[in-house]
Each structure stands twice: as structure tokens, then as C-alpha cells.
Structure 1
Amino acid sequence: MGVARIKHPSHSHHYLLLKYPQEPYWCNGCIGLGFGPCYECEHEDCSFYLHEECANAAPSTSHPFSKCSLKFHYNAPQEDERYCDACGEDVLGFVYQCSHKHPHDYHPRCLKLPLTVTAGDGLILQLKKKLPSKCLRCGSRKTSNRIQGWCYVSSPDRYCYHIACVKDMILEKWKKDYFTQDGNVNEANSLALQTFSPGREIALPGGRSSSKATQIWRKATTVIMVIISALFGEPSALISVLVQYWLSS
């Protein structure tokens, strides 16, 4: 865990405090959705937030998936549209780039994703640069931005999901106001969640549709939960609530 109180060049006129908000926030560094611990301006009316990874971004770093050193930028030097080569989302702020003529881009938070995560039942997921099979949510080897995108794959290679697709699942629910500011389900949308069909969100290996499929689907939901933990840290109450709806559907 990071230092409790810091100064940051992107918000140098106030101190930033390490907080544990119960509601999602927009990081003012990478301009991405955030859950869990973050640095927040000591003046609440500022509404300034930074992911821990964005607040503590080093001038340069490395990653097993990149053959060269990666340099930090507050904004991409190029003027064209940029996409993170890990999650496929827009690059709108803090970013790491390699030194190639046509550089790869990575959000600071994406570079900190664990290479291996383990579920409570011993299921092991590994972070992969390339998909060994189609993503079980989007049915493609590439993200919606036509970028390969990193993925988490179970061992054996039965469950495979883009990290972009899992992030999109959470972002879509948040944009639809399924969550209130205290991290609970918005009562106005509770019926929508209760009638939420898991089949539309989580595809099953082989497209099975029998009693066996229910067991497989529950395993897939466990995989999704583990990936959410890898993306956002310890699952906060609002994420847990969403997953419970998936499990009880």
C-alpha cells in the first residue's frame, strides 16, 4: 500500500490522501474508471482522484510482454487516436510507451496486472499477451478497437476473457446507474438486475445448454470474479453485489 499523503505534479497545489472510496470514480490521470484504493485531493470540492498506479508511476518501467523499456508520459506525444495495447481502451491521459517508431501504449494500471491469479478453489489464471482461443464474451481474438488485447486464461485453456471485455461489463453496469453512491444496487434498477440473463454476458465453452451448463457457467462466473479482483484489487462491495446477482440468476 502506498504512502498516506503525497504531492503530485498533476495536482501540485493540494496534497493527495490515500483513500478507500466505496463508490467508483474517474481517475484524473489515465481518465479511466477506478474502484478501491486511490489518491484523492484533500479538498473534497476538487473531486480529483488518481489510481495508486497512476500516482506512483515511475519515469520508466519494463514489462515481460515488452522487449524494450517503457517511458512515462502525462499525455501521448502523438496527436492521433491511441489505444492501450493491454485493455484496448482509449489513451486519454497518463500512458507508458515503448521507443518504437510506431509505439505501443499501456495504461499504468494495466502494467501492474498480476501475471498469475488463483481462485479460492485452486483455479489458476494466467495473463497472456495473445489469446490462445476466442474470448468467451465477445467471441473474437481482438477487442472492439481491433487490438489484440491481453487476456486471462485458465489452466487448462478452457476459460479465456479479454481484460477489455471484463472491464466493459463493469463499466456498462455503472453507466446504467445499477450502483448507488454507497456501493449498493440502485433500487430503481433492481428489477433489471433480477431479470439479467447471464447467458448474454458470460458465454460457455462449447455453447452448452444443459444442467451441466449451469455448473460450467458458475465456474465461468468465478473466473470473471477473479479477473475483476486482478483489475480492481480487492473486490469492493459494489462489485460483489453485481456478481451475486450473476450467481443467483
Structure 2
Amino acid sequence: MKYSEISHFSHPQHKLRFDYSEFPFKCDGCKEVGIGSRYKCSICDFDLHMHCAIPSPSIFHPFYTKCSFQFLGKPPGDIPRYCNACEKDVSGFVYHCKSCGFDLHPCCAKLPMVLDDGEVKLYLYKKVSSPCHRCGRKGRSWSYRSTCKKYNLHVACVREMLVESWHEIYVGRSKGRTLETSIPSLKNTLQTAHKRRSKGKVRKCCEMGAFAVQIVISALLGDPTALIAGIIGALISRA
């Protein structure tokens, strides 16, 4: 549900207004990267993902049928915690299951079970036995896999791409660069070997794999919209 203006416990000084940004931002709630739809305080430059601004008090997830995840404003306890979906540290807002000890970033908790941009349809799995299209390893974190089973992407790997690129993204934003130049090229992202394929088939395979990457990135950024996916897709096509 979208409201034009909200009050939020994490920023009681001012109201937050709905905004749409084509520039990457850092969410002040979960501390993760975002883009697109957000709630923003223009006075304090305070930003929240949609999922962080209007969270569900509690959620259930099909991967953890015995768990009840409660929304918390900070990680529980004093020990470091990590997200069970993407394996990245939890340092802000989190969905936590008290009985099992599992944690999910708000955006990871709300990842769609199916992503479909018209070119590639991807299904979310807790674990996949086939190797990741980027790192070449099996297992690990949650994964998106295409219907044809040719493209498998660890959520952790895509999250790492964003973390590795955050400095360049943020510096690009501060210098007023456009989105097309502030998000780094995704060249060399797809590392699956294609030694036995013709050049044309390799190119087509990588192009389709790139579509898969772009829509997973969009979902992890908290706004899997056609606009964002299209912009990132244009970058990949030039890589």
C-alpha cells in the first residue's frame, strides 16, 4: 500500500513523503542499497525502502514454514547477524524469527517468488543443486533459476555485486552523474564456460543471462519495476 506521506518511528522529527528516485540511495532503515520507490525526508536526506517504510508487523515465508518473522528496528542481541537469504550482514531493520534465530532483510523477505520481465521467467528457490551463473558454485544462498534451468543466480552473488559497486554508485550520485554512468558495467558477471558453443550462441546465452541478472538486481534494490530493469539491462547490453 502506498501513501503520499507517512510518519515513521525511525524518523519522528519530520514526515516522510513518497518519492521515486532514478539514483541509487542507501536506506536508513535496513542500511542496504535501494533505487526507485522510497519514502524520503527532504529536510534530513533520510530515505527508506518501501518495505522498510511500511513493513508488515509479522510475516511468514514459504521457505520456513515453522517460522514467524517479526519486524524489528534493529538486530536482536549483541552478536553479529546475517540474512539467511543473501548471507549479508544485518545492521538495521530486520525480520527475525525468535524460535529459530533466522533473519531476513526486509527486501529479501519480500523477494517475489517469480520474476518475469517478458524475456526471462525466474523462480526463487531456497537452494539449487546446479552451479550459479556468476560464481560457478552450487548450493549456498537462495537462488533464482530460470524456467529452462540454464540460468541460476545466487541471491548472495547478486547482493555482492551491489556491495562491491556501492562506492562507485554513491560517488557517482554525489557528483551528479546520471544513473547510466553511476551504476558500473556488469561485464564479466556471467562466468559460465561456453567453450563448445559458437560465438553466436555464446552471445545469445549471455544476453539472456544478463536479462536474468537485471531483474534480480531490481528485486534486491526493493523495486522490481520495468523502468529500473530496462535501465540496468541497457548497461548490460553495452558491457
The TM-score, its normalising length taken from structure 1, stands at: 0.83
Compute the displacement of 1:134 (Å).
Answer: 1.8
Q: Assess if the C-alpha contact under 8 Å between 1:97 and 1:105 holds in 2.
A: yes
Number of residue-to-residue matches in the alignment: 232
Supply the distance in 1 between the matched residues of 2:131 and 2:55 (Cα, whole angstroms).
32
* CA distance 1:182–1:240, shift in 2 (3 Å): farther
Change (3 A) 1:7 1:215: same
**How far apart, CA to CA, are the structure 1 residues paired with 2:196 and 2:168?**
29
Contiguous gaps of at least 5 residues in structure 2: none
State the partner residue of 2:109. Answer: 111
Amino acid at match of 2:129: P
C-alpha separation between the residues in 2 aligned to 1:214 and 1:71?
45
Tell me which protein shows more strand as a share of its residues: 2
Q: C-alpha separation between the residues in 1 aligned to 2:116 and 2:121?
A: 5
8 A contact 1:132–1:157 mirrored in 2: no
**Do the aligned partners of residues 79 and 154 (structure 1) sit closer, same or farther apart at CA in structure 2, a change above 3 Å counting?**
same
Q: Which runs of 5+ in 1 are unaligned?
A: 143-147
Partner of 1:243: 233
Deviation at 1:174, TM superposition (A): 4.1
Helix, strand or coil for the counterpart of 1:21? Answer: strand
Instruction: Name the aligned partner's letter for residue 236 of structure 2.
Output: W
**Deviation above 6 Å: which 4+ runs of structure 1?**
none
- Provide the rounded CA distance (Å) in 1 between the counterparts of 2:22 and 2:117: 23
Given that 1:204 and 1:213 are in contact with CA atoms closer than 8 Å, whether structure 2 keeps it comes out as: no
Q: Equivalent residue for 2:35?
A: 35
Match of 1:81 in 2: 80
Task: Tell me the residue number matched to 1:66.
Answer: 64
| Map of 1:222 onto structure 2 | 211
Cα offset, 1:5, TM superposition: 0.3
Mapped to 1, the partners of 2:24 and 2:163 lie a distance apart of 10
User: Which amino acid letter does the alignment assign opposite residue 118 of structure 2?
Assistant: G
Cα 1:54–1:219 change in 2 (3 A) is same
Amino acid at match of 2:39: Y
Q: Deviations over 1:27-58 (max 9, x none)?
A: 11101011111010142xx1111111011112
Whole-angstrom distance in 2 between the partners of 1:175 and 1:42 = 22
Q: CA deviation at 1:111?
A: 1.2
* Distance across 2 between alignment mates of 1:164 and 1:219: 20
What corresponds to 2:191 in structure 1?
Answer: 203
CA RMSD of aligned residues (A): 2.5
Separation in structure 2 between the aligned mates of residue 179 and residue 11 of structure 1, nearest angstrom: 26
Q: 1:245 to 1:57 in 2, by over 3 A?
A: closer
> How far off its partner does 1:197 sit?
7.9
**2:89 counterpart SS class:** coil
Distance in 2 between residues matched to 1:132 and 1:163, nearest whole Å: 14
What is the alpha-carbon distance in structure 1 between the residues aligned to residue 84 and residue 178 of structure 2?
30
Residues 6-38 of structure 1: CA deviation (Å, up to 9, x unaligned) = 000111121000100121111111010111110
Go from structure 1 to structure 2 and tell me whether the alpha carbon gap of 1:208 and 1:91 turns closer, same or farther (over 3 Å shift).
Answer: farther
1-side partners of 2:52 and 2:186: how far apart?
A: 35
Q: Distance in 2 between the 1:167 and 1:197 partners?
A: 13
Which deviates more, 19-28 or 132-141?
132-141
Match for residue 6 of structure 2? 6
Q: Is the 8 A contact 2:186 2:235 kept in 1?
A: no
Q: Which residue, 32, 44, 47 being the options, matches 2:45?
A: 47
Q: Is the 8 A contact 2:114 2:122 kept in 1?
A: yes
SS in structure 2 at match of 1:22:
strand
